[in-house]
Structure 1
Amino acid sequence: MSELDILFEDDHLIAINKPSGLLVHPSWVAPRGTPNLASMLKVYFEGGSPYTIHRLDRPTSGVILFGKSKEVAQKMNLIFAERDVSKTYLCMCRGYTPEADTIDYALKEQLDKIADKHANQDKEAQEAVSHYRRLGTVELDIPIGRYDKSRYSLVEVKPETGRKHQIRRHMKHIFHPIAGDTKHGDNKHNKMLKQNFDLQRLMLMATNIQFTHPITQEFMDITAPVDSYCDELFAGFGWKGLFPDSLVDS
């Protein structure tokens, strides 16, 4: 990624459309010098530091916010903590999900072996709630395992809480893991999709975020389009028009 895909910017906030595979911050699990969004923003700010507001997993693409000052970031952190923000995700899942439902399933915090080695390993599971609705389905004439066809759903998810890997773990919990998920997904389906559709990414996208600007009090509605690969794949599955045109990368 040579340039930042900026979705919104003012004197206080910047919203970026993060591609799948890009780290948000440097990580101990990645070699030194691995590209990351925070370092790219430092260059963009000509030495200034971005302030973290929330995070996206490395394989997840889509809209992510940074503050341009510590004070603004703290105000936005409070907005997130009080759940005065609406986040929408798009994902492709194994099988036909129910048309709509709420997943209310507490999740134990996932700790990194090195980064969190001093953290409490016996922490109780935290409240985690995700609301979803199915937008479309597809059946492929490609056998997999004991089935002679493969089925997938296009799903819109609105998480009420923000636990680590929440949507990925929740979709696995209801037996509809997200395509391309190497940690919580179905390896047989991942392999088939890679062989037949050159799938190289997690099919989870943060497509929209809505909140009240902490300084201007303006209602913010920021949308990140899906990338060209997802747009082409979804069109091939007959899913064109099932989500807003604003989600299609022009």
Structure 2
Amino acid sequence: MFEIIYQDDNLIAINKPSGWLVHRSWLDKHETVVVMQTLRDQIGQHVFPVHRLDRPTSGVLLFALSSDIARIMSEQFATKQIEKTYYAIVRGYVEGEAIIDYPLVEELDKIADKFSDKNKPAQNAVTFYRGISKIEIPIKVRKFDSVRYSFVELKPQTGRKHQLRRHMKHIFHPILGDSKHGDLHQNRAFADYFGIKRLMLHAHILKITHPIEQKQVILKATLDPNWQNILLNFK
């Protein structure tokens, strides 16, 4: 059963575990266990997605409990009225805070986007980041005798596909466990040392305006025990 972090007559939010598809997808045609169906069975009513999290990302996932509420909430996401905060563990030392303002060319899927414009110009993409803590581990990776990792806070100001993963790669601090945009040697070293193999990206906080009550609601998803055990090593 999913951990429900908020529920009323209009909305429900869960702490999505890493590895779950939000809904059935051509990306994995054989996957029959998905969040939408499982949550529907858990609470005994239909749920309507208003945003998404990538399969390997954990954290706050919000659903509406009617199509009308889904439309209202989807508009909030589309017009950037939602504030999102993520946690990540990245390669290297990240000090202080800064803004990444780096346009991104849309990533197209070979099947789902095969009729899309492949010459579309890069889109505006902005991410705030802040270093929280760090660690150096004496394990050899390629020519280096030790590895350095940082625990960071990320706040996307725009909503481009894989924005956080691509932006952190752009500043040479890829997110650990990212098989597409990360460093495979670092991913392997991290997984072997900590005994965990997943994307180290977690949707920690979602701030929304309630569609009926028109008040701010803060949805917060705690880190799972694996995350918490890893962070005990950071300073």
TM-score bin, normalised by smaller chain: over 0.9
Which structure 2 residues correspond to residues 73-152 of structure 1 after superposition, within 5 A? 73-152=70-149
Q: How far is 1:27 from its partner? A: 1.6
Q: Does 1:195 align with 2:192?
A: yes
Is the 1:51–1:73 Cα contact (8 Å) retained in structure 2?
Answer: yes
Q: 113-122 vs 205-214, which deviates more?
A: 113-122
CA apart distance, 1:32: 2.3
Question: Contact 2:2/2:14 (CA < 8 Å) preserved in 1?
Answer: yes
Contact 2:103 2:122 in 1 (8 A): yes
Give the letter aligned to residue 199 of structure 2. L
- The answer on whether the counterparts of 1:131 and 1:159 sit within 8 Å (CA) in structure 2 is yes
Counterpart of 1:57?
54
Output the amino acid matched with 1:224: A
**CA spacing shift, 1:118–1:49, aligned 2, 3 Å:** farther
Size of the aligned set, in residue pairs, is: 235
Q: Secondary structure at the match of 1:191?
A: helix
Contact 1:98 1:134 in 2 (8 A): yes
Determine whether 1:154 maps to 2:144: no
Q: What is the rounded CA distance, in whole Å, between the counterparts of 1:186 and 1:49 in structure 2? A: 40
Deviation string for 1:89-138 (max 9, x for gaps)? 00000001241110011111111111111222222211111001100111
1:1-250 to structure 2, matched below 5 A, reads: 3-46=1-44, 48-238=45-235
Structure 2 gaps of 5+ residues are none
Q: Quick one: distance in 2 between partners of 1:25 and 1:180?
A: 22
TM-score if structure 1 supplies the norm length?
0.90
- What percent of counterpart residues are identical? 46
Distance in 1 separating the partners of 2:150 and 2:32: 33
- Indicate the residue corresponding to 1:246 in structure 2: none
Residue aligning to 1:248: none
Q: Distance in 2 between matches of 1:135 and 1:33?
A: 36
8 Å CA contact 1:137–1:154 kept in 2: the answer is yes
Structure 1 residue 33, shift from structure 2 partner = 3.8
Q: Tell me the CA shift for residue 174 of structure 1.
A: 0.4
Range moving further from structure 2, 111-120 or 220-229:
111-120
SS of the residue 1:210 aligns to: strand
Q: Please list the CA deviations of residues 174-198 of structure 1 after superposition, one character each: whole Å capped at 9, or x if unmatched.
A: 0000011111100011111122211
Q: What is the deviation of 1:152? A: 0.6
* Residue ranges of structure 1 left out of the alignment (5+ in a row): 239-250
Q: CA RMSD in A?
A: 1.3
**Structure 2 residue identity aligned to 1:26:** R
Secondary structure of the corresponding residue to residue 190 of structure 2: helix
Q: Distance in 2 between matches of 1:31 and 1:74?
A: 27
User: Matched residues in 2 for 1:183 and 1:207: separation?
Assistant: 22
Which letter maps to 1:43? D
* TM-score, normalised by the number of residues in structure 2: 0.96
Paired residues of 2:135 and 2:233 also in contact (CA < 8 A)? no
Could you list the per-position Cα deviations for residues 146-191 of structure 1 after superposition, in whole angstroms to 9, with x for gaps in the alignment? 1111101110001111111110000000000001111110001111
| Deviation of 1:199 (Å) | 2.2
Distance 2:164 2:57 in 1: 11
